Amino acid sequence: MSELSRAAAEAQTLPELAGLLRQLRRREARQQGETQLTYRQLAAKTGWSRGVIGEYFAGNILPPPERFDVLIRLLGASPAEQGVLATARDRVEERRRRPTRDHAATGRAAGRARAGGPRTGTPSLRLPVPRQLPPALPGFVGRAEQLAQLDAACAGTDDPGAADGTPAATVLTLSGTAGVGKTTLAVHWAHRVADRFPDGQLYVELRGFDATGTVVTAVEAVRGFLEALEVPPEQIPTHLSAQVGLYRSLLANRRMLVLLDNARDVEQVRPLLVGSPSCLVLVTSRNRLVGLIAADGARPVNVDLLSTAEAWQLLARRLGADRLAAEPEAVDEIIERCAHLPLALAVLAARGAANPAFRLTALAAELRAAPRSLDSFDGGDASSDVQAVFSWSYRSLTPAAARLFRLFGCHPGPDIGYAAAASLAGLPRTEVPRLLAELAHAHLVTEHAAGRFGAHDLLRAYAAEQAERCEPAQARRAAIRRGLDHYLHTAHAAALLLQPGRDPVILAAAAPGVLPEEIADHGQALAWFTLEYPVLLAAVAHARHTGFDRHAWQLAWTLVDFLQRRGRWPDLAVAQRAALAGAQRVGDRLGQANAHRDLARVLSKLGRVNEAARNYRQALMIFEALGDHTGQARTHRAFGAMLDGLGRHVEALEQSERALALYRAAGHRAGEASARNAVGWAYAQLGQYQAALEHCGQALALLRTTGDRHGEANTWDSLGFIHARLDDQRQAIRCYQRALGLYRRVSDRYDEADTLSRLGESRQAAGDTAGAVRTWRRALAILDDLGHPAGGRVRALLAAVGEPPGDAGHTGGG
């Protein structure tokens, strides 16, 4: 046992422990044949301030455990000595926690200082005026909303009773994700309002997420503030509680601004708060610091990504407006690939400014071609390397939250809910809210709506890189499979509730750990698709790119009815092309047939009828080879609808009758109802109204037993059209209104607009021109919102009665 270890075993007090540190320092110097390590050298090795290091060796401050361990290793302590010294440090800390007469006396002295009474050794109340703010960033742009919130709090405009300008809040927090510009905003605003705080401004960089991991402790920060206020070192109390008491006493009744930058957590900040209502504390952090909001009345200000206009302003300030104006498309691409993140934009702007001859198109191409999204965003040091900046937040997570964040790289985006996150990670749902809350608290994800969490593209790219680095390939693939299974099994059940007449597809069993969401009825199915369809569209492409081709076509299959009712044909076309490619790659013939048919339906809506016809015929050929009669029937039914739209009513009738025969042979009542309505509609187009009424009536009787509201709506619309052709406008209007009620229940906006246009024609024929105009304007509002070319026909109807389209958003009822 070394002499040092024996001394450490007996050490009981802070001065004795400091003596051991000095002994280590001298021994290390002798062994290296040098003079003692200087405080400057130790500061360079650790990132700590020289003043604090001096306090450690003087015995005025007890180093925190993690710093103590670093320090004794640097001073050459052997592993055995490190253990004994750590025990000695813990023993000293335990003794210091016990109440003593000295502590009580210190508290009383601090109390006298707070009361403003005289005390021997108390610093003079004639304080200096510190001006510690860092320089403001030249060319600051944007952030009007956040600046207005900060101004309101500072000026007291939120509190009518604060006529003297006392701040409405004494603590403000600026929180946001890494690289979003919190410090830039805080320093800019602090300089802007500095004249409102004539007694000075204090600033400390708390290094809560510093690359070195050396967080500034409350002891260090308070002592730094006391030094800035020129309190003599011998008059600074030893213990934190007394230091805080003195700090708050000195700021009492003064108007000072305190900027606490880059805070890690509430515990680091709370001792630095000021008790005086005439002072304002501004805290920046990547964490939300909810404890300050709940317990200390802090007012939160969220710092989000830049808007497109703000991003343009930032680039223009650094690259010149003329340079941007010459290549606007490249600028837009740069902004999108930088995810509107100020740090990423600043790094790219610095590269552009350093190379003024570079075209912005070339910079955009570099971003596009980078094998990893984050490779282009290294500004040359840790503080401007986007990946490094993200890592500081990531390293602060618990292991479970860090794993969930990594798995975001296995999710298609753009956002995720609790249930899907649980399946993605293979966790019980009860564990997920806590983990997502931790990620949101660290601003690694954003809860943009209740229970919906997303992250910008660069954070998602960072998550994917961490997943690749930390998760084995088999684990990543399993997570992708769980996520896709969750969406596929939930969407399949929801799709069958939206359209009860559809035949289900055969799904493989969900992977272990997947818990699909329970969708009970049509309303829940519609609400779920409304919320999740952007994710489902992304999941189709994600499945295709990651080799889950069967998932790709089956997910696309689930989207057909919902996207058609919303008129989102371009989205559906992209999904169906991906589905077809995936089914072809794995040789899935049923998947190919479904994708050909559903792609054809979309292409016909987009006016690409020749391509649509080829896909219909390809689908029919495959379904026939598979012996799938209902698949053939559904295809004939859809093919007939396209031909009807082209005015080829005889061919449409032929296709619909084939569908009817196949459905009847298969005993498929829902399909038979749909086909009978199609046959009835085709007869009506050909002027054979009695046959049309007969088939549509039979369809309606069948539909009442199937619960297919969408099919009922289609049939009531057909009956309205037939009665209108028979010049029974009163009955036609009643039928159309029945159809509209059902279309609205199933949220089919395109068919609602189509029926409204025919309802308007019946109202006009009945002599109600005003009613017709109101109805057509409602139809036009929907079609314009969908971007559908059928709006031109409705405009022509309005023009024919001498009415301009007007404000389509302000219409009467249907």
Q: What is the pLDDT of residues 734-790, one digit of tens each?
A: 999 999 999 998 888 889 999 999 999 999 999 999 999 999 999 999 998 887 788
* Tens-digit pLDDT profile for residues 79-101: 788 888 888 888 888 776 664 33
Q: What average pLDDT is seen over the chain?
A: 85
- Residue 725 is given by DSSP the state H
Structure tokens at 418: 């609790």
Amino acid occupying residue 368:
R
Per-residue pLDDT of 358-368, as tens digits, reads 889 988 887 77
Query: What was the pLDDT predicted at 365?
Result: 86
The CATH code of domain 521-732 reads: 1.25.40.10
Distance CA 651, CA 645 (A): 11
Task: Determine how β-strand 257-263 pairs with β-strand 201-205.
Answer: parallel
Domain 386-471 has CATH 1.10.10: yes
Helix (H) or strand (E) holding 202: strand 201-205
| DSSP-assigned beta bridge partners for residue 280 | 257
pLDDT at 376: 56
Smallest Cα–Cα separation from 360: which of 122, 249, 368? 368
Q: Crossing angle, helix 629-645 and helix 649-666, to 10 degrees? A: 160
Closest CA to 279 of 183, 163, 153: 153
String of DSSP letters for 316-348: HHHH-HHHHHH-HHHHHHHHHHTTT-HHHHHHH
Q: Give, in degrees to the nearest 5, the angle at Cα 21 between 16 and 26.
A: 120
Residue 335 CB coordination number (10 Å): 23
**pLDDT-above-90 percentage for the chain:** 48
Residue in the structure block whose two tokens are 């304007």: 777
Distance CA(497)–CA(769), nearest Å, equals: 39
Chain segment 28-74, per-residue pLDDT in tens? 777 766 666 777 788 777 767 776 787 788 887 788 887 888 888 88
**pLDDT of the residue at 38:** 79
Domain locations in the chain as residue ranges: 3-97, 144-302, 308-369, 386-471, 521-732
Q: DSSP of 347-372, one letter per residue?
A: HHHHHHHH-TTS-HHHHHHHHHH-SS
Contact between 224 and 204 under an 8 Å Cβ cutoff? The reply is yes
Contact 739, 755 (CB under 8 A): yes
Read off φ and ψ for residue 257, nearest 5 degrees: -110, 130
For residue 291, is pLDDT > 80?
yes
Tokens 């293979």 locate to: 426
Can you tell me whether residue 807 is helix, strand or coil? coil
What is the average per-residue pLDDT within 281-289?
91
Task: Please name the residue ranges forming H helices in 606-668.
Answer: 609-626, 629-645, 649-666
**pLDDT tens digit sequence for 586-619:** 899 999 999 999 999 999 988 899 999 999 999 9
The pLDDT of residue 103 is 38
Single-letter amino acid code for the residue at 105:
A
Decide if pLDDT at 226 tops 80: yes
pLDDT reported for residue 161: 40
- Gap between the Cα atoms of 455 and 447, Å rounded: 9
- pLDDT tens across 146-158, in order? 999 998 887 653 3
| Side chain identity at residue 74, one-letter code | L
Distance CA 129, CA 216 (A): 23
From the options 3.40.50.300, 2.40.160.20, 3.40.50.10470, 2.60.40.10, give the CATH code of 144-302: 3.40.50.300
Distance of alpha carbon 149 from alpha carbon 169, whole angstroms: 11
pLDDT (tens digit per residue) in 500-559: 878 899 999 999 999 999 999 988 999 999 999 999 999 999 999 999 999 999 999 999
728 versus 70: which is more confidently predicted?
A: 728
Tens digits of per-residue pLDDT, 227-282? 899 888 878 887 888 888 889 988 988 889 999 998 988 989 999 999 788 899 99
- Polymer length of the chain: 814
Angstrom distance (rounded) from CA 616 to CA 595: 10
**Phi and psi for 416 in degrees, rounded to 5?**
-150, 150
CA count, 13 A, side-chain hemisphere, 244 = 15
CB 408 within 8 A of CB 414: no
Task: Report helix, strand or coil for 27.
Answer: helix
Task: Give me the pLDDT at residue 388, please.
Answer: 67
- Quickly list H helices, 125-198: 144-155, 182-192
Among 75-89, 332-346, 415-429, 455-469, the range with the most confident prediction by mean pLDDT is: 415-429
- CATH of the structural domain 3-97, one choice from 1.10.260, 3.30.70, 3.30.1490, 2.40.128: 1.10.260
Amino acid code (one letter) for 422: A
Helices 549-565, 589-605: inter-axial angle, 10-degree rounding: 30
Cβ(236)–Cβ(246) under 8 Å?
A: yes
Residue 749 · residue 779 · CB < 8 Å: no
Alpha-carbon gap, residue 260 to 217, rounded angstroms: 12
- CA dihedral of 769, 771, 775, 778, whole degrees rounded to 10: 110
Q: What is the pLDDT of residue 813?
A: 41
DSSP 160: T
How many CB atoms within 10 Å of residue 442? 22
* C-alpha neighbours within 13 Å on the C-beta side of residue 196: 20
Judged by DSSP in three states, 423 sits in helix
Predicted local confidence at residue 109, as pLDDT: 37
Report the DSSP beta bridge partners of residue 203: 259
Torsion of CA 227, 229, 232, 238, to 10 degrees: -60
Residue 108 has pLDDT above 50, yes or no: no
Distance CA 121, CA 298 (A): 34
Question: What is the model's pLDDT at position 59?
Answer: 81
How high is the pLDDT of residue 119?
35
What is the pLDDT at residue 378? 57
What percent of the residues of the chain are helix, what percent strand, and what percent coil, each to the nearest 5? 65, 5, 30
Looking at residue 337, its pLDDT comes to 85
Tokens of 361: 């198109």
Per the CB < 8 A criterion, the answer to whether 733 and 762 are in contact is yes
Is residue 124 pLDDT above 60, yes or no? no
Q: Which pair of tokens denotes residue 453? A: 């969490």
What are the pLDDT digits (tens) for 406-452?
Answer: 999 999 988 999 999 999 999 999 999 999 999 988 878 888 788 99
Query: Side-chain half-sphere of 270: how many Cα atoms within 13 Å?
Result: 13
User: How far is 759 from 775, CA to CA, in rounded Å?
Assistant: 7
Q: Which residue has the higher pLDDT, 79 or 653?
A: 653
117 confidence band (pLDDT: 50, 70, 90):
very low
Main-chain dihedrals φ then ψ at residue 299, nearest 5 degrees: -100, 120
Q: Quick one: residue 355, left, alpha or beta (phi over 0 = left, psi -120 to 50 = alpha)?
A: beta
How far apart (Å, rounded) are the C-alpha atoms in residues 391 and 373?
15
